[in-house]
Structure 1
Amino acid sequence: MAEWADQLTELVASRGAELQRYGFLLTGDRAEAADLVQEALVRVFTRPRRAWRLGEIEGYVRRTMLNRYLDLYRRRARYRELVPRLAESPVGPDDSDRLADRHQLLDALGALSPSQRACVVLRYYEDLPVAAVAERLGRREGTVKRHLSDALARLGVALADVRAGTEEGATP
């Protein structure tokens, strides 16, 4: 038992760096190369021969590294090929209704006059009071109230038509 441990120690001490470089050339990654070397050493020295010389052991370890790398490469290639077939696409919530509602709202806002749209955006999106909207637009409060009233009426009609059409289409 001490003989194989001496052979392993001698191999790692004298040729360990070369085995690491060989593993790096195979894998292209230092961490994977280190894993490959360690796994090859474990595989080779789990059933050691008594009559091995250092050169024979190194050749056997290199061949084991190559075989293991090719095996891992084939498995990864097969995995990449099979994963799309095995994995189901995650089913998320259907947001098409929300997207349609957004487009309809944008269409309804587009139908407003520029003054009405500005008043609606300032009042409801920026959450400004009527006085601040009037000040920002340089208009009287009564004018802003009138634009908001007209805009909300037009939006209500446009969105009510959309909702009525959706409800009619939804019920068989």
Structure 2
Amino acid sequence: MTTNEPTTAVTGRAEDFDDFVHGRGRALLRFAYVLSGDAHLAEDLVQEVLARMHRRWHKVTAMDSPEAYVRTSIVRQFISWRRRRSSREAVLAELPEPAGPDEPQQRVLARDQMWSLLAGLPRAQRAVLVLRFYCDLPDDEIAALLGCAQSTVRSHAARALARMRTMLTEKGVGGDG
């Protein structure tokens, strides 16, 4: 290999992996955070997945979209994560952010309420909602990421939204209450 040869994604060199992590690491961490709702768990998820990817980076870069493959791995790792205490238990590592001068208090409260509602969902349902509404993916792509049928994606989404509506009603928010 000569020094003037262009670096391609197919080479799978360690430098390519480092470039990928430096270039896309923060975005992957944000994605894992939205998925998990926990900064420490998000870091663990990304670190675990990237450690696995490093060993076989040459195979990952041979794919059409290495980032999509890494995101899929993060979703699957989140769904199967065994060290979490319970899908219904939510421990906040930090207090909710106070409203800034550009952000009304209602928006902060709505965001905190959304985090609480998402934390009350089973992992697969939460993953479907994050992929649908945060990543703006269609059902067929979500199904491919999760390794399930499109009907399963729609079912998870419907159940998750119904559960969130029920939780809002129980809290006396929204609807007629």
Which bracket does the TM-score occupy, shorter chain normalised?
0.3 to 0.5
**Greater helix share, structure number:** 1
Larger Rg: 1
Structure scoring higher RCO (CA < 8 A, sep ≥ 6) equals 2
